[in-house]
Structure 1
Amino acid sequence: MAARCLQSPVLAGSATFAALGALVLYYAEPSAYGKHTESLIPMAISLPARTAWFLQELPSFAVAVGFLALQPHSLFAPPGTVLLCLFCAHYFYRTFIYSLLTRGRPFPAVLLFRGIVFCIGNGVLQGYYLTYCAEYPEEWYTDIRFSFGVFLFILGMGINIHSDWILRQLRKPGEVIYRIPEGGLFTYVSGANFLGEIIEWIGYAVASWSLPALAFAFFSLCFLGLRAFHHHRFYLKMFEDYPKSRKALIPFIF
């Protein structure tokens, strides 16, 4: 399969995601959904949160599953197949579990469209690379990069899922009020859910040791890290008793 790899699209796609991450930091404005919907135009078209999140996350899962079907099937799956399965596992959770359980606010259609385009592009980039371009030695499964990367991915996904659960418990069905999240890594940071996902994609980048995965991890760090900062600022303004020792994203540091 590696012989059919076209490096130019891979390099272009990776550069695009890295550039998008840099642009996110440059503009430094919160995306207008969830807590930050006050920056939206009042008449902006919005969809219910569950519907919007499902439609946004589904392309990444569907595209990755499509590429997974092209992977060679054998008793011992090659590393590329395992890595693509990890990618699918994250987006299975985001598509079929998180989206159906979330109690968030209506999601603006324009941001949904952007999210769908991003998810399609990223799914194609990661799936194409792991299907046609990735070449790993037979001993990759015992390589420290693979082992440590998978460990980070699983750790991050666990943090992300647990943090999402804590956030859901703060609000009863139909409520739109905000409360201070407590427990888990929320004891130390305001963006525990974002930190978990960042750790996931850093682990994925280490385990795959590839430019597309690194570009996606960088974008995730920029976008979700900035999102955590805006959430932290929001909490500090809204709650006078918000824990002063709590940081935005990195415990005890930032």
Structure 2
Amino acid sequence: MDTVLRSLFSSEEEELYILDCLSYFMIFMAVLTFLTLLFENVPYGRYSDRKYGFPVSVRVAWFIQELPALVVPLALVFWTASSKTGHLPNQLLIAMYFCHYVQRSLIYPCLIRGGKPTPFASFALAFVFCIYNGYLQVRYLSHYAEFPSDWVTHPCFITGSCLWLFGWIINLHSDHILRNLRAPGETGYKIPRGGMFEYVSGANFFGEIIEWGGFALAGFSVHSAAFAFFTCVVLSSRAVAHHKWYLSKFEDYPKSRKALVPCLF
């Protein structure tokens, strides 16, 4: 892996510059995505559309598209001279990242019940993003990120880590609620209830936004902030779309429930 990286970059300074550029490009793409999603829903799940390509089994799609977010970082940590992995802040941030993607790429696809096929375009874009972001986040943390010796006791790291854990738990619990909405053999949509779904329609999205926002605060870099911003743009749009869909689908949908932020939005 080091050989590959040396063939791509003439020096560590050049690679770090590229990592910075990739971060700013992700922010730029998040803005473009926000503008696009004002007129179009992300085409997967209940918004699947064949005009975005042939359908891919939802389990297969989730497994393959998320796998690079795990495999690429594993290669960077174990098959390169990852000089910063001996430092505690770097270790903890990398562990947060892996904790999410081990569950998302290896466990979550096996738990999916039913689900509409994913259009190939959505699948391909997610696959590319996971390669891009996996390299960006973990290469920076494993080889370049430098933190003060007392960073793990800094309020930003403590607060960010707590937010990450809070968001991760909400995300897992919300996914559990969604998976168990229907009894075996049942079809159709139901109103999710329990947990954060009592307050927002996009409880799973709310949890993941909080999770990566906490990660960005704990990591305190443009690289983690770009990821959190992109996540927020995509998932907030999906939460709003879900909220509107629920309101139009169910006459008895709770009127006090917000789209994404409890009591506010």
Q: Structure 1-normalised TM-score? A: 0.92
Counterpart mapping for 1:52-63 below 5 A: 52-63=61-72
Q: Would you say the 8 A contact 1:4–1:132 is kept in 2?
A: no
Distance 2:120 2:35 in 1: 24
What is the percentage of aligned positions where both structures have the same residue?
A: 43
> Which AA in structure 1 matches 2:148?
P
Aligned residue in 2 for 1:81: 91
Aligned residue in 2 for 1:50: 59
Aligned residue in 1 for 2:74: 65
Summarize the Cα distance change of 1:216–1:73 in structure 2 as closer, same or farther, 3 Å threshold.
closer
Q: Would you say the 8 A contact 2:65–2:127 is kept in 1?
A: yes
- List runs of 5+ in structure 2 lacking aligned partners: 1-10
- List runs of 5+ in structure 1 lacking aligned partners: none
Aligned residue in 1 for 2:27: 18
Q: RMSD between aligned alpha carbons?
A: 1.8
Aligned residue in 1 for 2:130: 119
Query: What's the CA shift for 1:213?
Result: 0.3
Aligned equivalent of 1:218, options 213, 222, 229: 229
SS in 2 for 1:138: coil
Counterpart mapping for 1:132-151 below 5 A: 132-151=143-162
Distance 2:182 2:21 in 1: 42
Q: After the TM superposition, which of the residue ranges 27-36 and 196-205 deviates more from structure 2?
A: 27-36
Distance 2:226 2:75 in 1: 22
Aligned equivalent of 1:240, options 228, 234, 251: 251
Which segments of structure 1 move beyond 3 Å, counting only runs of 4 or more?
A: 70-74, 172-176
- Size of the alignment, in residue pairs? 249
Aligned residue in 2 for 1:158: 169
Q: Deviations over 1:63-117 (max 9, x none)?
A: 122222244598x743112211110110001011111111221111221111000
SS in 2 for 1:68: helix
Query: What's the CA shift for 1:20?
Result: 1.7
Aligned equivalent of 2:103, options 93, 99, 103: 93
> Which AA in structure 2 matches 1:200?
E
Q: Would you say the 8 A contact 1:190–1:249 is kept in 2?
A: yes
Q: Would you say the 8 A contact 1:64–1:87 is kept in 2?
A: no
Q: Structure 2-normalised TM-score? A: 0.89
> Which AA in structure 2 matches 1:98?
Y
Query: What's the CA shift for 1:149?
Result: 0.9
